[in-house]
């Protein structure tokens, strides 16, 4: 019998941990407000740069409001997920709702002089503040709207994870 030594398989050590926050909220205006407040609170607990936190606050607020207004299904919640990757200096904001048949679109039709379109300004803000946004299916019947924000400077100062944030943070 011929025996060969198996190669040593090692996983590369991550250079920086990604941090994740995920929470379900009721599909109400109060739930959208709470998602924005808790999202900003989590970013502050992670000690994210204030400029990125301000941009993320608007994006979280708009995506959560859209989930409540356009993605609401009676008896179903929406989910906010934040993924902070310090190595790539990116923050991904994801809002998942139960309405997979209605995808968001930015209104591109011509507007009359002095007239406001009845909707669509929220996604214009998201497009302006995020580096990239898209929408993907969320099985079994929903969708997830994702926005990626980055900062050219320091995303998170080096150091240990802040105390008190461990209950809401899961590491990937």
pLDDT on residue 147: 95
Looking at residues 20-25, what average pLDDT do you find? 95
Confidence of residue 10 (pLDDT cuts 50, 70, 90): very low
Position with higher pLDDT, 67 vs 1 = 67
Q: What share of the chain is helix, strand, coil (3-state, %, to 5)?
A: 25, 25, 45
Provide Rg for the chain, Cα atoms. 19
- Residue-wise pLDDT for 106-159, tens only, equals 666 555 555 555 556 788 889 899 999 998 988 888 899 999 999 766 555 555
Position with higher pLDDT, 99 vs 43 = 43
pLDDT on residue 105: 65
Determine if the pTM surpasses 0.85. no
Phi, psi of 30 (to 5 degrees): -65, -40
pLDDT on residue 44: 95
Which is nearest to 146 in space by CA: 107, 108, 104? 104
b vs e for 85-94, b when ≥16 Cβ sit within 10 Å of the residue's Cβ? bbeebbbbbb
pLDDT on residue 157: 53
**Residues 85/18, Cβ–Cβ less than 8 Å:** yes
pLDDT on residue 115: 52
- Residue-wise pLDDT for 75-101, tens only, equals 788 999 999 998 888 999 999 988 777
């Amino acid at each position: 019998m011929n025996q060969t030594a198996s190669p040593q398989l090692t996983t590369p050590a991550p250079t920086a941990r990604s941090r994740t926050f995920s929470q379900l909220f009721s599909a109400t205006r109060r739930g959208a407000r709470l998602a924005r407040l808790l999202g900003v609170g989590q970013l502050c607990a992670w000690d994210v740069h204030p400029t990125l936190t301000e941009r993320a606050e608007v994006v979280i607020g708009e995506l959560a409001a859209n989930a409540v207004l356009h993605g609401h299904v009676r008896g179903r919640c929406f989910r906010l997920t934040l993924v902070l990757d310090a190595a790539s200096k990116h923050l991904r904001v994801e809002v998942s709702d139960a309405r997979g048949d209605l995808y968001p679109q930015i209104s591109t039709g011509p507007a009359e002089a002095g007239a406001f379109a009845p909707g669509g300004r929220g996604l214009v803000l998201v497009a302006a503040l995020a580096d990239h946004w898209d929408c993907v299916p969320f099985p079994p019947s929903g969708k997830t709207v994702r926005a990626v924000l980055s900062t050219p400077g320091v995303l998170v100062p080096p150091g240990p994870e802040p105390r008190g944030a461990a209950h809401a943070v899961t590491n990937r």
